[in-house]
Amino acid sequence: MTTTEVPTDVAAFAGYVRERMTPHLGEFAQAGAGAAGAERDDHIAAVEELREGHEEQVACMRRLQRVLYDAGIAWPSGPTHLGGLGLTSIHDTVVDEVLDDMGFPSREALFVGLNIVAPALVHHAPAQVREPVVTGLYRGELIGCQLFSEPGAGSDLAGVSTRAVRDGDDWVLHGQKVWTSMGHLADVGEALVRTDPAAPKHAGLTMFLVDMHAPGVTVRPIRQMTGGAAFNEVFLDGVRVPDSHRIGGVGEGWKVASTSLGNERSTMSGAAGPLTPYVLERVVELVKRLGAEENPILRPQIARTVAAVTAMRAAAGLTPGSWTHRLEPVSGSVLKMLMTRALDEIARLAEDVLGERAFVDHGEKDAFAWSEFVLGVPALHLAGGTDEIQRNVIAQRGLGLPRR
């Protein structure tokens, strides 16, 4: 199939995706909750956390990714020489929305690799690393993670202290990363480390692609208040990384990190993120089923929710563009702020409508299920950079306001 045969009109493209995926519905029908063709269970989460025995769930995500790749729709906005279609970020969103609507399982475990690691590789890695690794991520053969945050460097990311020292053709890494989403499943990690402690902090950083199975890498899951363990501490103890796996120039790690962060914030706000059409459908169903739409006390919250979701979707629709457009930092921060506001309103609405049923399991369908969503939303005010950091980006880089 050549790219010229793929419709670019958004509605026609949605039909094209649906047509390409329909033959695969049966294949994913046995995949458990949320599987295509099966009735979904009532599980709903803002931060998807893999359950006990998640191996089959992850294998299913990898299989689905491979199906998308083979169907030529794994990465509509990506460059054609790397398996993309050269379309826009809107077409990526269309794929996510159609899959969600058809009931295919989520690809949560692949999110970081596809939306944070791959952009950095495409823009900054040498061809001998970029091509096999990006293709591996898009085929579902590799899972990626982001090794940025440390116990002493989160918002102040340029303050990372994990060190890399050159040794022949290799670099040797020592340090600790934290909050590494899907680190326990990952094959490769994008690691921001300090190569020159004497340089000003942003200038002394370099990015590497770490083999997560290499000697010296230890991954320890962190249990969260939702009960899941989707992120980890990662210890790098004398891990050797060949210089060929450096992403970008020595001392240019901050530039590479900015590529990843810009894309992360934009894609989190799309249908690949937590605000899926399915979440909206579920909250509307909940309101209708419990007759809340006529309740005068609840109506203002319903209105706030509709306004926040509408604003988010309108803003996302205003910023279509090529894949590189997503790297623009200010629009990513604006979208992320609008997304977290919309999620807050949905969580608040679910809580208001359900009352104690959101937190005490009476076995009623669609009630206690919302507790995981409500408990997960606060994490999204931190992940990908906190609200305060997004506001700083918008103020300084978007509005040109002075640093305080």
Ligand X SMILES: Cc1cc2nc3c(=O)[nH]c(=O)nc-3n(C[C@H](O)[C@H](O)[C@H](O)COP(=O)(O)OP(=O)(O)OC[C@H]3O[C@@H](n4cnc5c(N)ncnc54)[C@H](O)[C@@H]3O)c2cc1C
Number of residues lying near ligand X (CB under 6 A): 20
Binding to ligand X by residue 189, rule CB under 6 A? no
Q: How far apart are CA 114 and CA 74, in angstroms?
A: 10
Q: How far apart are CA 323 and CA 156, in angstroms?
A: 27
- DSSP label at 153? B
Specify whether the CB–CB gap between 82 and 134 falls below 8 A: yes
Contact with ligand X (CB under 6 A) among 88, 149, 206, 269: 149
Cβ closer to ligand X: 46 or 73?
Answer: 46
Specify whether the CB–CB gap between 277 and 344 falls below 8 A: no
Binding mask of the shown chain, residues 39 to 58, with x at each position contacting ligand X by CB under 6 A: --------x-----------
Specify whether the CB–CB gap between 82 and 121 falls below 8 A: no
Q: How far apart are CA 70 and CA 5, in angstroms?
A: 16
- DSSP label at 115? I
Among residues 48, 97, 190, 264, the one annotated as catalytic is 264
Helix (H, G, I), strand (E, B) or coil at 81: helix
Contact with ligand X (CB under 6 A) among 7, 136, 154, 320: 154
264 is catalytic: yes
Contact with ligand X (CB under 6 A) among 34, 144, 273, 385: 385
Cβ closer to ligand X: 367 or 383?
Answer: 383
CB of 273 to ligand X, least distance (A): 12
CB of 112 to ligand X, least distance (A): 6
Cβ closer to ligand X: 85 or 389?
Answer: 389
C-alpha to C-alpha distances, 244 to 127, 149, 251, nearest whole angstrom: 10, 23, 15
Binding to ligand X by residue 155, rule CB under 6 A? yes
Q: Which residues between 93 and 122 bind ligand X (CB under 6 A)? A: 112
Helices (H), 79-181: 89-102, 111-112, 118-124, 127-138
Adjacent-strand bridge partners of 211: 188
Q: Which residues between 199 and 258 bind ligand X (CB under 6 A)? A: 231
Binding to ligand X by residue 146, rule CB under 6 A? yes
Report helix angle 89-102 to 277-289, nearest 10: 50
Q: How far apart are CA 273 and CA 266, in angstroms?
A: 9
Q: Which residues between 343 and 382 bind ligand X (CB under 6 A)? A: 379, 382
Instruction: Please choose, out of 204-212, 274-282, 341-349, 386-394, the segment that lies near ligand X by the rule CB under 6 A.
Output: 386-394
Cβ closer to ligand X: 11 or 225?
Answer: 225
Site of interaction with ligand X (CB under 6 A): 47, 112, 145-146, 148-149, 154-155, 179-181, 231, 379, 382-383, 385-386, 388-389, 392
Q: Which residues are catalytic?
A: 264
